[in-house]
Amino acid sequence: MKTIIVATDFSPISINAAYYAVELAAAVQAEVLLMNAVAVPLVAVEAPVPAETFETMLEDADGDLKQLQEKLLIFSNNTVNIYYHSVLGMLVNDLNELSQELNVFAIVMGSQGAGVTDRVLFGSNTLNVMRSLPYPVIIVPKHARFKGINKIGLACDLKDVNDTLPVEHITDMLTIFNSSLHIFYVSDTEEDNASILPESISLQNNLMKFHPKIHFLTNENIKNGIFEAAETENIDLLMIVPKEHGLIYSVFHKSISKDIITHPRMPIMTIHSR
């Protein structure tokens, strides 16, 4: 069975993401795994920490996970299988190990965690999770609720689409939700569309049966250009493809990457080439 992993630090934003994940799981007939990575205290690096301390931290995490599980089961009318797992370690590494054991549909995280807490270094790890793990990651904005996915947006730099675009996964998502597809190409300068025409034609051919609509846009701020176009088209889920070069990597870079993660305007899914 497909599994949606929810990485939570028990902040309100991450708990909201858990509710989003449960509704998503109901739509795709998946189960939900609530996961909390208990961070090793910084003092443990300089001085030994009694094993009992770690045991207490894990017990506390399990207690909070159980409470969240109970609330989510009531919310779902017990129609979604929800279980939980806590681990002592680093979020990215533990998520990777856990994901390898499961049939992961997606990893769901809140747009901004509690930051440095006694339990988890959450907010700073979100970008690392999105870049490092080969699984789809959905970042849920504050107060966002799952209302179906009727329209999917894809931010694309229209470069080497045949080699870099995970068409199979995009196709899967469009098929599961019977969604329409809008492709957003945003440049910070006026360009001759003839220079990107071959790539846009190739992309349309790859996704022909979904009749995608490609939007060619110009905006000095690429991030704002993508979000504004997605809002205009009432996009329910915006897909991005992290790449080492090109538009998507530049969007998820330095201060811009932090801004997108902490202040997204809609749920964002990162997908990687298979």
The radius of gyration of the chain's CA atoms, rounded to the nearest angstrom, is: 19
Examine the pLDDT at 252 and tell me if it is beyond 60: no
DSSP state, 154? E
pLDDT of residue 113: 52
Q: Which helix (H) or strand (E) holds 56?
A: helix 51-75
pLDDT of residue 243: 63
pLDDT in tens, 178-195: 999 999 988 877 765 666
CA-based nearest residue to 83, from 97, 69, 68:
69
CA-based nearest residue to 173, from 113, 238, 229, 122:
238
Mean pLDDT of 101-123: 67
pTM for the full predicted model: 0.86
pLDDT in tens, 202-221: 888 788 888 999 888 888 88
DSSP state, 116? B
Cα 229 from Cα 28, distance rounded (Å) = 27
CA-based nearest residue to 89, from 114, 116, 121, 65:
121
Average pLDDT, the chain: 82
Can you read off the two tokens belonging to residue 161? 């689409």
Same fold flag, 3-140 and 151-268: yes
Q: What percent of the chain has pLDDT over 70?
A: 78
Fold of 151-268: Rossmann fold (3.40.50)
C-alpha distances (whole Å) from 128 to each of 29, 95, 131, 173 are 28, 11, 5, 23
Q: Token match 């049966």: residue?
A: 209
Fold of 3-140: Rossmann fold (3.40.50)
CA-based nearest residue to 141, from 269, 266, 6:
266
Strands (E), 188-241: 213-218, 237-240
Domain map (residue ranges) of the chain:
3-140, 151-268
pLDDT in tens, 10-48: 989 999 999 999 999 999 999 999 999 876 655 545 556
- Decide which of 116 and 79 is more confident: 79
